[in-house]
Chains A and B, each alone.
Chain A
Amino acid sequence: EAQVTQNPRYLITVTGKKLTVTCSQNMNHEYMSWYRQDPGLGLRQIYYSMNVEVTDKGDVPEGYKVSRKEKRNFPLILESPSPNQTSLYFCASSSAAQGDGYTFGSGTRLTVV
């Protein structure tokens, strides 16, 4: 089944403790992206990657890191999480073909206390 798999689904952590949210897709998609969803703000892009070793900042990259060493994986790293990073996070992927829609992961609800 074609899918984007995110882990974990839920995470509670403490301020400053480094964490990684994993994202993997099995569709050989070139384009992958991370979003955070907050009430009233919709979806805001954190980082995106157009292919292996090609990443760039989205609209709200501060406090986050990403890497794209393999085509299928695009982990999101929070080196020193803070409470304002409490949010619902989504990974998504698509091909670079014009007209291709996103496939989203199921989301990771992160709480930083």
Chain B
Amino acid sequence: AQSVAQPEDQVNVAEGNPLTVKCTYSVSGNPYLFWYVQYPNRGLQFLLKYITGDNLVKGSYGFEAEFNKSQTSFHLKKPSALVSDSALYFCAVRDYSGTYKYIFGTGTRLKVLA
């Protein structure tokens, strides 16, 4: 069965430092992987996706994610964190085997400290 795991409930990082939010996945076919961000009192917004091609994917707001097939990981990264990056981040995988269903991780709260 398809699944997504975000092992950290919360990640704290100092402003200006690099950040990583971890995600691992389990899929039976080719993985279609996504990151979404949720700011307080807002819906989720699409950040970036991996479909095929380069393992380093660039997205919105300076975020990027690294796809690692051997480790079945899709970690979200940013070279220099901003206080405004503080939000809830969700990793997701989409199942194209028939239901087109998205499976979401439980979310990681990122707190960037000034």
Residues of A in contact with B (beta carbons under 8 Å apart) = 4, 31, 33, 35, 40-43, 45, 48, 50, 56, 58, 90, 92, 94, 96, 98-99, 101-107
Contacts and interface: CB of A to CB of B under 8 A. Distances in A.
Contacts of B36: 101-102, 104
Interface string B3-23: 000000000000000000000
Given A41-B106, A42-B105, A42-B107, A101 B100 contact: no
A90 B43 contact: yes
A38 B36 CA distance: 17
Contact of A42 (B45, B49, B90): B90
B25 interface: no
B69 interface: no
B106 A102 contact: no
A40 B36 CA distance: 17
A42 B102 contact: no
Contact of B44 (A56, A58, A96, A102): A102
Contacts of B90: 42-43
Nearest to A109: B41
B107 A90 contact: no
B32 A99 contact: yes
Contacts of A98: 32, 51, 96
Interface string B29-41: 0001010100001
